[in-house]
Structure formats: C-alpha cells, structure tokens
Amino acid sequence: MASFISDFGLMWYLKELNKKEFIKFKEFLIQEILKLKLKQISWTEVKKASREDLANLLLKCYEENQAWDMTFNILQKINRKDLTERATEEIADVVDSSPLGLTDSGNPKLYRDHLKKKLTHDCSKKFNVRIQDFIKEIFIQNDCDTFENLLISKGTEKKPHMVFLQGMAGIGKTMMLKNLMLAWSKGLVFQNKFSYTFYFCCRDVKQLKTASLAELISREWPSPSAPIEEILSQPEKLLFIIDSLEGMECDLTKQESELCDNCMEKQPVSILLSSLLTRKMLPESSFLLSTTPETFEKMEDRILCTDVKTATAFDERSIKIYFHRLFQDKIRAQEAFSLVRENEQLFTICQVPLLCWMVATCLKEEIEKGGDPVSVCRHITSLYTTHILNLFIPQSAQYPSKKSQDQLQGLCSLAAEGMWTDTFVFGEEALRRNGILDSDIPTLLDIGMLGKIREFENYYIFLHPSVQEVCAAIFYLLKSHVDHPSQDVKSIETVLFMFLKKVKTQWIFLGCFIFGLLQKSEQEKLVVFFGRRLSQKIQHKLYQCLETISGNAELQEQIDGMKLFCCLSEIEDEAFLVKVMNCMQQINFVAKNYSDLILAAYCLKHCSTLKKLSFSTQNVLNEKGNQRCMKKLIICWNDMCSVFVRSKDIQVLQIKDTSFNEPAIRILYEYLKYPSFTLNKLVANNVHFFGDNHAFFELIQNCSLQYLDLGCSFLTHSEVKLLCDVLNQAECNIEKLV
C-alpha cells in the first residue's frame, strides 16, 4: 500500500475512534505485530498510550508503510468503513494528484505537497461536538472566489497586501484561512503570485515566548532544515497568514528602534509580531491578519492596512437548517428555532457555528427531559449555565457527584486566571494549579468542556472564549479573589470597572454574565449544583461601584454605554436598572446591530438624569429588511428616543458615524422639537441622511441650540442651501458652526 501518512495523519485517524474503539484498536495492534513478526512493543506501553503517544510510537518503531498497513487493517477489523474509504481516497489523491497550473519545482513543490497532506488531516476535532461536517458544508460554497477576493484591495493592487479579516470569535475565520492554505497548496488560488504561504496562530506562537521569523518558518517546513535563505530571497512572493491576533498583546506604539528587521534574530514573540505588522520586517511581503472586531478596533489606527474584510458564518437559513438536522423532529426543531429567533441576542450568538451547536443541543436536551426551554432562552446567561451544568449531571441522575462539583469549580478557577492573564490556551500545569487533576482531563474532553490543541501536546482550550467567560463569572460567585491560587486574579469590583471601560478587549461577556448570575433563578441553579449558599453581597458591591460613577464626569466619559446596557439587561431587575441609570449624567455608546439597539432602548427609556448623550448606530437604522423587521426596528428606535422626554436636561447631543432613513430622522425630530427641551449643543459627525431630511434642518431651528458641528457629514448642494436658509432665520440662535 502506498505510504501517504505521517504522525499528524495517523493521529487524525486515531482521534476519530471513540474510547471503546481505541481500546479495541490497541488489542488488535498487539495481534498484528505478532502476526507480522515485527519488533515487539510491550502491552503496558500500548495500553497507557494516548492517541498522540500511540501515533508517535508506531512511527518510531516501524517504517511508515508498516505503521499505516497495520492501521488500515485494524480499521477494517473494527468496522470503521468510513475511515478506510477516506484513507483509500486520500492515498489515491497523493499518488495521482497533479496541482493545476503549477510550474514550480524543488522546495516550493516540496512545501506545497507537505502542506496539502498536512491540511487534509488538519480537520481533526478539537472538541467532542457534532457540527464540523455541517460547518465545512457551509464554508465550501464559493470558497475559491472568496479567497481570491480576500486579497483584492481597491486602489492598492500593486502594493504589498496588509488585509484584516475580522469576525466574532468562533465564527470560522481559522477554518477559512486553513481552507485557503489548502486551496493554495493545490494550485487553485493565487497561482504564480506567492511562492510560499505561511500560517501562524498567535495563541500557539505565544507559547514560544521568544523566536525568530526563521524559526517560525522552520516549524512549518516538512524536514528539520528549511531553506531560509531561498525562501526570503523573494519577499514579495511571500504571504504570511497571522491568525487570532486577539491571542497576543502587541505593542504597536513602540519606537522603530525597539523593533527588529532581522529575520534570523531571536526576539520576544510580541516584538517579532509588531515588527511584521508595522512593516519594519519584510515590508515587501503580503499579510492576511484575522482577529475579533474588538481587537481590530483597538489596532486599526496603528496599522496601515490595505483592506478590511468581515467573516460571516451562519445566516438565518443556515441556523434553521442546523436546528432541523439536529432535532430531526420538525415540530420540535421549529419550536426551538422560534425561541431563538425571538431573542435577538441569542440569535446573534447562533451565527457562531460552535455556539449554534451549543444552543441547539441545550434546547434539545431541555425539551427531551421535559424542561422549560422558554425560561432557558430568556437570557444568554441562563442558556450558558443550563448547558454547562447539564454536561456535569448524567441523564440518569438528579444531582452532580462530588467529583463533578470539584471539576467545574476547578474550571471556573482556571477560567478566571485566564481572563486576567489573557490566556486562552492552558498547559497541564495551569490545570493542576487550579485543582483539575490529570485524571479529570479525559472526562472534560469527552463532555466537550475542553478541547485539545493539536499543535502543542497537553495544551487545552475551552469550547469557546464565551464559555471561559461564563466560568470565570461563576468563580466570583463561588469564591473571593483572595482565595484564588494566582495573584493575577483581582476583585469583582475591578472586573466591573475594567469591563465597562473596555480595558481588556477580549472581555466580551464577562461583566454581563456576572450580572446575569445575580438573577434569582440562576442563583438557585448554582446552589442546587454546588450544594452550598452563594455570596449575597455581590449585587450590593456592584451597585456601590456604579454609584461611584455618579457625579464623576471623567469616569462616565470612559464608560462604554453598550457594556453597561448589556449588564443591566441581563440581571432582569427593573428596580436595580432604574437606580443605576439614574446615576448616569452622560452616556456614550455604539450600536453595531439590531441586538445592540434593543439593549440601548431598554435601558435608556428608564433614564431621567442625562445631560449628555453620545451615540452611533452605524448603518442599523438604514438597513434593508422586510416590512415586519423594519416595523420592529422603528418601534425600537422610538423607545430609545423616548429618553429625550424623560431626560429633559440633555444639553449636548452627539451623533457619530450614523446613517438615518427618513422615518428614523422624523422620530428623532418629533422628540426634540418641543421648546421645553433645552438642547444647547448638537454634534453630527459623519452622519448621512437618506430620503427627505427636512426634519433635521427644522431641528436646527430649536431656539435653545447655540453650537452646531456637522464635521465629516456630507451635504448636497440643496442641503447646504437649506442649511443657510435655516441659519438666516430670526429665531435661530446658533453662535458657532463647525
């Protein structure tokens, strides 16, 4: 049989076996070795070997052909026909394939062949979840066109590319980039454009502490000695794909003298990465960078990127199809999907494939055991906690075992440490430090709470960063930060302030989950699971923190309003919400989608103390949709504008980066036109109007308005004329126009 497999290929097939099949595999392996009269391996060594250990052991003791022939025969014996068929196809592919359009030979061809073989097997499951095949099906559509478009930048085609691919964590950026690499290795994209493409994941690179670029390239090479000099001789023919920038802190403010231009020189990996991103190193090469929107927002002013692309995964149709595939029962599938569709936050989360699986699986289990899926879908915290607690309680049991309690408590401690140290990939030492035993790891992998990183042995990640966040939030209800084994973990008050001020861009839900866990129903769930009372002082502590913001204008300026709205809507305590909102004299927020607008409207309609409001709704108010969606959007906008009735002392209104359709600007005008509303300063920066915008210019005639700033807002010739007419009116009191 042709040899096509290596350690990572063999490992992939072994990882596809369940626990019983893997034990059976080991038993047949000993029989095969005896039958073929090969070098003996002790049963003790085989029995204790993990999948990775066994793959390495086979390739160490036997030739590739021998190792694979035995593996293939055993797969047939344990009736894994799917795996033997796949292997047969891949062997044929390796033997017969000839990349289309490729004229390179020597090292470039060697590297392409290695990459194709490696990436063919790189779809192994990190998690024990059943959605990978469906994700692949969604991503395969029009892949090659998508890949080519990634590196087409308007007006910059002749320059080296520096393209950002942004998207929510877990939305599929890594899969897209690895599929791109596979397509390149097969000669399907970027033909003759790049001699080499190299993929670096920041979370993996971070584990190295220090490295040179030459070392990183060598790690990707099929043999121990990479031809570095040849590879770097044509830097314009190199494409570097740098994934998960949020996984590493890069200081892009460093002086040029602190950076490095020597590809052979070993540097702290953060300096190495900064040198590449600022083009101090290899300025002629092209870069494709992936990260979350929050990290991109932090970096965009410091990197000269040629284009920004947005990764999208599951649309409404894909989510609905997946629910029907998982449930099979059409009525139950539609019931569950409808619950998700009615909750805009939950629906937004389901656009991330792994989280879609988590939500659908959680609801399926809840329905099957006669639970209440409606209450589970009320808030995102409720769904996350229901899913996590269910993983630790066997279906036949009513309560968790002591071991399960300890395992989850250890995970919560680990998660909290990770949030404070910006760590999302954990070694076994970190697990042990937080009370997770080596014997616990197989269980945590089997239930899907942890996944294994294949690039680094014995390194683990949570199912999704948001799952790590909810576990970290649970830690704060179980223990005080002073009881944590790591001094990096700070108090819950510090968590709140840092979350609201967006100090750590990777804290997407942490504060929201802490507030969500204060709901009575969530407290009861945790008390039942852990069998002990939780701290009753946390809500008071959080309110005291928020109260300190009152009257502190400088602090209020730093608060991200959207983070505050997310926290307050998750606690579902209207009295608490009103108390907090009436501590606020100024609020600044950006609503990036309909879900954000809902949260803003819910909180602002309870506020009566504002003096300054600054917001951006981007293109949310001008998005096209069916009549039902547009009606819901306008109702939501109307609710938000009601803040101008309750907070009659607003002096400053700042609108930035916003597109208004005609109904939206008319609603805003209706709320601001009353003489009793004493607006003094109106700032409309980069604001666009669609349809009849006379209402906006009528608004300017508000007799109390003295300052008007229209910076970066495009006005047509007729709109400029209309503005001049308004300014010439006797009742207009504007003293300064910017």
Give the amino acid at 672. L
Domain at 179, CATH number: 3.40.50.300
Give the amino acid at 451. G
Do 456 and 482 belong to one domain? Answer: yes
For Cα atoms 725, 730, 734, give the angle at the middle one, nearest 5 degrees: 75
Q: What is the mean pLDDT of residues 485-500?
A: 95
Do 142 and 208 belong to one domain? Answer: yes
Confidence of residue 122 (pLDDT cuts 50, 70, 90): low
**pTM beyond 0.85, yes or no:** no
Whether 97 maps to a domain, the answer reads: no
Whether 95 maps to a domain, the answer reads: no
For residue 682, what are its two tokens?
Answer: 């109106």
Q: How many residues does the chain have?
A: 738
- pLDDT (tens digit, 9 = 90+) per residue, 528-547? 999 988 877 888 888 888 88
Whether 86 maps to a domain, the answer reads: no
Do 392 and 537 belong to one domain? Answer: yes
Domain that holds residue 613: 585-737
pLDDT score of 94: 45
Whether 87 maps to a domain, the answer reads: no
From 340, 358, 378, the end of a domain falls on: 378
Nearest alpha carbon to residue 569 among 585, 550, 589, 549: 589
Whether 436 maps to a domain, the answer reads: yes
Do 631 and 603 belong to one domain? Answer: yes
Does residue 285 surpass a pLDDT of 60?
A: yes
Do 246 and 324 belong to one domain? Answer: no
Q: Coil, strand, or helix at residue 196?
A: strand
From 354, 378, 402, the end of a domain falls on: 378
Burial class (CB in 10 A: 0-12, 13-18, 19+), 334: middle
Residues 215, 264 contacting (CB under 8 angstroms): no
Does residue 100 surpass a pLDDT of 50?
A: no
Q: What is the mean pLDDT of residues 335-342?
A: 94
Do 219 and 266 belong to one domain? Answer: yes
From 63, 79, 95, the end of a domain falls on: 79
pLDDT score of 483: 95
Nearest alpha carbon to residue 436 among 462, 470, 454: 462
Do 173 and 287 belong to one domain? Answer: yes
Percent of the chain with pLDDT over 90: 44
Do 224 and 280 belong to one domain? Answer: yes
Do 593 and 732 belong to one domain? Answer: yes
Confidence of residue 653 (pLDDT cuts 50, 70, 90): very high
Do 306 and 331 belong to one domain? Answer: no
Domain at 40, CATH number: 1.10.533.10
Whether 577 maps to a domain, the answer reads: no
Query: What is the maximal distance between C-alpha atoms in the chain?
Result: 105
Q: Quote the CA–CA distance of 667 and 634 in Å, as a whole number.
A: 9
- pLDDT (tens digit, 9 = 90+) per residue, 658-672? 998 888 988 998 888
Q: Quote the CA–CA distance of 316 and 369 in Å, as a whole number.
A: 27
Confidence of residue 675 (pLDDT cuts 50, 70, 90): low
Q: What is the mean pLDDT of residues 34-49?
A: 84
Whether 495 maps to a domain, the answer reads: yes
Residues 6+ apart with CB under 8 A from 716: none
DSSP string, 251-293: -TTS-GGGS---TTS-EEHHHHHHHHHTTSS-TTSEEEEEE-H
Do 125 and 167 belong to one domain? Answer: yes
Does residue 301 surpass a pLDDT of 50?
A: yes
Residues 347, 319 contacting (CB under 8 angstroms): yes
Residues 558, 581 contacting (CB under 8 angstroms): no
Q: Coil, strand, or helix at residue 615?
A: strand
Domain at 729, CATH number: 3.80.10.10
Whether 579 maps to a domain, the answer reads: no
Distance of alpha carbon 361 from the chain centroid: 20
Domains of the chain: total: 5
Does residue 8 surpass a pLDDT of 50?
A: no
Do 404 and 553 belong to one domain? Answer: yes
